[in-house]
């Protein structure tokens, strides 16, 4: 069985999927286990909808109609990125985009091709399962962190079972269409979408392995004896 360490080190976001369906029981198992994710005071402020088959097709069709009428989408109910994003965060974001488009040979100056690739978000990259993750809008920053942990649980559990997934903040920009399709109560904000399925290994876009900052850049270990290392 895949260890937590293996899942974290091996998992990557897939953006091209096989048409092979994912058994309902497998999706149920992943979500059922993810319920055990820790949350502040056990509030569990998340809400998840998992779609497949005709129901997923109807959402895709509704999104296509919305985008045809308004190509700039509907706007997110929260700020996905900070305005005037500073370095090193902006630098990392740009590097990620350049590396992604580089896998499929789209140069920076080809804006139309980049927009077309970005629009594939709203097809769940062709995945057989699409998920929408929401959070109660009365929650504060601490509970948004809880939803992030719930999302991470889903991603790692999917990887453990041989599935691939891609978290997609872009779905927040289609919240009106999503809300209507899911009959989502007004008190919930669309946080993100998740594509889920079997990755297509023949597609270059799935070869992307994003870089990570060195340990020394993001953490400091204080007060430990010199030369001590974890065992096991």
pLDDT tens string 198-224:
999 999 999 999 999 999 999 999 999
Contact in structure between 59 and 130 (CB atoms under 8 Å): yes
228 pLDDT higher than 70: no
> Which is nearest to 166 in space by CA: 211, 210, 136?
210
Radius of gyration of the chain (CA): 19
Neighbour count for residue 94 (Cβ, 10 Å): 13
Q: Which H or E run includes 84?
A: none
Q: What's the pTM? A: 0.93
pLDDT tens for 71-80 read 888 999 999 9
Distance CA 69, CA 179 (A): 18
> What share of the chain in percent tops pLDDT 70?
97
Contact in structure between 106 and 114 (CB atoms under 8 Å): yes
Distance CA 144, CA 191 (A): 9
* Residue 189 C-alpha from the chain's centroid: 16
């Amino acid at each position: 069985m895949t260890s937590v360490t293996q899942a974290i080190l091996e998992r990557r976001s897939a953006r091209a999927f096989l048409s092979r369906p994912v058994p309902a029981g497998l999706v149920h198992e992943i979500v059922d286990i993810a319920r055990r994710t820790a949350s502040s005071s056990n509030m569990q402020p998340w809400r998840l909808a998992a779609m497949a088959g005709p129901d997923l097709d109807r959402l895709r069709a509704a999104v296509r109609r919305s985008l045809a009428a308004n190509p700039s989408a509907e706007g997110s109910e929260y700020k996905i990125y900070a305005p005037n994003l500073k370095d090193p965060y902006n630098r990392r974001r740009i590097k990620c985009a350049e590396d992604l488009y580089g896998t499929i040979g789209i140069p920076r100056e080809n804006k139309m091709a980049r927009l077309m690739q970005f629009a594939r978000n709203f097809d769940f990259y062709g995945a057989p399962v699409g998920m929408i993750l929401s959070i109660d809008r009365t929650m504060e920053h601490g509970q948004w962190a809880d939803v992030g942990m719930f999302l991470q649980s889903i991603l790692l559990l999917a990887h453990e079972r041989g599935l691939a997934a891609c978290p997609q903040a872009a779905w927040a920009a289609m919240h009106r269409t999503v809300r209507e399709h899911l009959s989502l109560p007004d008190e919930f904000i669309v946080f993100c979408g998740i594509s889920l399925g079997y990755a297509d290994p023949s597609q270059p876009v799935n070869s992307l392995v994003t870089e990570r900052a060195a340990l020394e850049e993001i953490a400091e270990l204080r007060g430990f004896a010199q030369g001590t290392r974890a065992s096991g």
